[in-house]
Structure 1
Amino acid sequence: MTKKFGPVVAGKFYPSGRDDLIDKIEDCYTHKFGPGQFPDGSEEELSSPVGLISPHAGYPYSGPVAAHAFRWLAEAGRPTVVVIIGTNHSGVGSSASLVAEGRWITPLGEVKFEAGLAREILKSSEHLEEDSASFSREHSIEVQLPFLQHIWGSEFSIVPICLKSQSKEVAGDVGAALEKNLPEGALIISSTDFTHYEPQEVAEEKDERAIKSIMDLEVEKFYRAVRKHEISICGYGSIGVLLNFALKKDLSPTKLKYATSGEVAGYGREVVGYGAIGFRK
């Protein structure tokens, strides 16, 4: 029997009804902090791999920033497979987890897993383990799916990866495994938010340091910045994976949008930072 995951946060992070969810996604595109236009999804497959950093909070807060990432992706082309690297927020399961077989359910339909590719990635990694427990309560992978489904329906497959360990060693190992096995038209999504629950000025200052090192493709510099300045990026390990992959594949980053929950929602003394960054040749 095919194992099914989700929806974990339907009705919490985004609407649980299909029509309401589509309306909410479209609101994210037209929001004053969104890109201002709907995506025009290209049916032409990507000719080379691309990467995205995209936030994973509730859509009323991070959705407009995520919309910048997915509009950029829609213009780049249709991915042949999507690797989504989430952060283990529950603490359940292995330090670095992957599921090879299954489907993820959202109000917009079911997305299948790319089992063969997932198993090859597992074989190439010293740290990844096949472990479904890590995904049982995890939202950071799920919230990316409706944006993809809004553009291309459910006619794509995913490899979900969940990191409890954010270490540089794990990031390097997983990045190398992806570089070895992913097809040319693959998409990697680093699902992460940036600084958590700091005043607006502090969040901006900290996140500017982190984003500068990302734009410079400096893995060591990025990890040093996170440690030295105590930047509470929940998925910095997934960013590390993407940076390692980008360096191996000669991808260049483009900063698409940065905003905080305070700016998007219009209130809050302590804010969360959200960034959208695209990587391509």
Structure 2
Amino acid sequence: MNRKPVVAGRFYTDNPQQLKQELKQFIGPLNKKAAAPYDRLVMLPHAGYMFSGEPCGKTLAGANLAPTIILLGPNHTGLGSPLSVWDCGSWEFPGGKLDVDEDLAQQLIDSGTGFVENQAAHSREHSLEVIVPFLHYLNPEIRIVPVCVSESAPKVLHKAGEAIADIIDAYSKPVSIVVSSDMSHFIKADKAKKMDSMALEAIIRMDPADLYSIVSSNQISMCGVLPMTMGMYAAKKLGANAGRLIEYTNSGKVTGDFESVVAYAGVVIS
């Protein structure tokens, strides 16, 4: 079953030609990159392109993704299961599609760590959909495994993340992880930066347990903390020990309103 786009025309244009031009503007020239080593994990924002397109494109321009990607995103709708895998078909967007790596998806489901086949969680969720056109622009042959994450138990996130690492390590093709997350929501820009810097510092030094603790104890409204925690556990087991912040910005730089912003960050973990 193919997933049809649900936020085209709202979060990003539904005109294929215009979309391609915007992606070209956000990402810039496609420079040929080395085949390996690939980055283990990349964190990207997922708002409307007028807000998040630039940091998303800039981060991807500085990354080197494998041709197979496990996509981890938050669940904004409450639908589906805690670890919902879209396991078949393609994800469509105006002017193109990316195919699901069905074998890799099934390996996640068979791991016994909570991943289940569930399309309901993805049916109205925007956090992964908005990333798909960017990935297609980089490489139309990329294959994806979309996972919608609402599991909040730290031990389960840890176990599931390490299961991802084991599957990637044994897989026949190289795999990168892409996590979709925005940072602080609807607070003053200076407060958002102060709060988000604590979370980003934990990400950059690759401490998933501390990221979870910092976000929880300080009530930071980072919507993708759950998939990011899980993705970091996977990347850490695969040998990653540090990340780099590519971009940090907020919606006020577009709207001029710095009293209530949503903040966005792009991180690459090698």
| Bin for the TM-score computed over the shorter chain | over 0.9
- Residue 190 of structure 1 pairs with residue 179 of structure 2: yes
Secondary structure of the 2:261 match is coil
2:42 aligned residue (36, 52, 59): 52
The more displaced of 204-213 and 215-224 is 215-224
TM-score normalized by structure 2? 0.93
1:168 aligned residue (154, 161, 172): 154
**Amino acid aligned to 2:26:** C
Separation (CA, whole Å) in 1 of partners of 2:96 and 2:38: 27
The more displaced of 44-53 and 254-263 is 44-53
The more displaced of 47-56 and 113-122 is 47-56
**Amino acid aligned to 1:119:** Q
- Residue 245 of structure 1 pairs with residue 243 of structure 2: no
The equivalent residue for 1:39 is 30
Separation (CA, whole Å) in 1 of partners of 2:31 and 2:157: 33
Distance 1:150 1:255, change over 3 A: same
The equivalent residue for 1:28 is 26
The equivalent residue for 1:5 is 3
Which residues of 2 match residues 173-252 of structure 1 at below 5 A?
A: 173-182=159-168, 183=171, 185-251=174-240, 252=242
- Residue 278 of structure 1 pairs with residue 264 of structure 2: no
Asked whether the equivalents of residues 11 and 47 of structure 2 are also in contact (C-alpha less than 8 Å), the reply is: yes
The equivalent residue for 2:145 is 159
**Amino acid aligned to 2:45:** P
Separation (CA, whole Å) in 1 of partners of 2:104 and 2:49: 30
Query: How far 1:87 moved relative to its partner?
Result: 0.9
Asked whether the equivalents of residues 79 and 121 of structure 2 are also in contact (C-alpha less than 8 Å), the reply is: yes
**Amino acid aligned to 1:246:** A
Separation (CA, whole Å) in 1 of partners of 2:127 and 2:186: 18
Secondary structure of the 1:21 match is helix
Query: How far 1:67 moved relative to its partner?
Result: 1.0
Asked whether the equivalents of residues 108 and 149 of structure 1 are also in contact (C-alpha less than 8 Å), the reply is: no
2:247 aligned residue (247, 251, 257): 257
Separation (CA, whole Å) in 2 of partners of 1:266 and 1:189: 30
Number of matched pairs: 266
**Amino acid aligned to 1:45:** A
Unaligned segments of structure 1, at least 5 residues: 30-36
**Amino acid aligned to 1:263:** K
Asked whether the equivalents of residues 166 and 236 of structure 1 are also in contact (C-alpha less than 8 Å), the reply is: no
Asked whether the equivalents of residues 253 and 278 of structure 1 are also in contact (C-alpha less than 8 Å), the reply is: yes
**Amino acid aligned to 1:5:** R
Separation (CA, whole Å) in 1 of partners of 2:128 and 2:203: 21
TM-score normalized by structure 1? 0.89
Asked whether the equivalents of residues 39 and 70 of structure 1 are also in contact (C-alpha less than 8 Å), the reply is: no
Q: How well do the aligned residues superpose, as a CA RMSD in angstroms? A: 1.6
**Amino acid aligned to 1:12:** R
Unaligned segments of structure 2, at least 5 residues: none
Q: Percent identity?
A: 27
The equivalent residue for 1:87 is 74
